[in-house]
Amino acid sequence: MKKQTKLLIVVLLAVLLIGLCYGYKRYKQQNSNDVTKNNQIKSNQTSKNSIDEKSKKTVIDKVTKAEHSKSETDITSAKKAVETLPEGNDKQALAKRINAITVNESNSGDFIVSAQYSEELFSSNLYVTTKDSSKIKGVTVNGDKLKLDDRYIIENGKVKIVFKKGTPKDSIGKVIINTEASDYEVKADVIK
């Protein structure tokens, strides 16, 4: 009986030892998986942060370009870029920088020949004659970019800007004709 007891104890110890080895192996494997997952999460966060830094740098570059050129197109582009940033101090600081920019008012006489304001049946219109209407890329009124064939049309070498019926000539605000080379303001003293 003593031999059977000893044999039973040896078998139990062997089973216990195998169980411990198996359990330790599983523990080590699980721990390794957790470490791998944590490393992947850290890697993803690092790459996300680097992407955020790259996009933030792109936005800052656009704001800087707008500050130097002071063109309406660059300012609008910078505003849209800043809107893509997450809320925070950077977004607020860049928005303040953009708001501090004043549009470079080029000499209207170089490009704008004349402007005529007229009341028509359904709208009030401003007709702006330019030296070369084919160079016109857009029209901005009071900072809002107008849509071609909706709020402005180019016909017979003139830009027709449509306003709400009854809008007084002196309250139309700041009108800017955008070209690829520069932006030209339609000065109030040019409008007849």
Full-model pTM: 0.44
Which one is the CATH code of 108-190: 3.20.20, 1.10.150, 1.20.120, 2.60.40?
2.60.40
Q: Alpha carbon 31 to chain centroid distance?
A: 43
Other C-beta atoms lying within 10 Å of the C-beta of residue 9:
10
Domains of the chain, residue spans? 2-99, 108-190
- Using CA atoms, how far apart are residues 85 and 62, in angstroms rounded to an integer? 13
Task: Yes or no: say if 182 and 143 are a contact pair by the CB < 8 Å rule.
Answer: no
pLDDT in tens, 98-151: 777 766 554 444 678 888 888 888 888 889 888 888 888 889 888 888 888 888
pLDDT in tens, 41-61: 665 555 555 557 777 888 888
Task: Yes or no: say if 104 and 176 are a contact pair by the CB < 8 Å rule.
Answer: no
Angle between helical axes of 2-69 and 89-99 (0-180°, round to 10): 10
- Using CA atoms, how far apart are residues 131 and 111, in angstroms rounded to an integer? 5
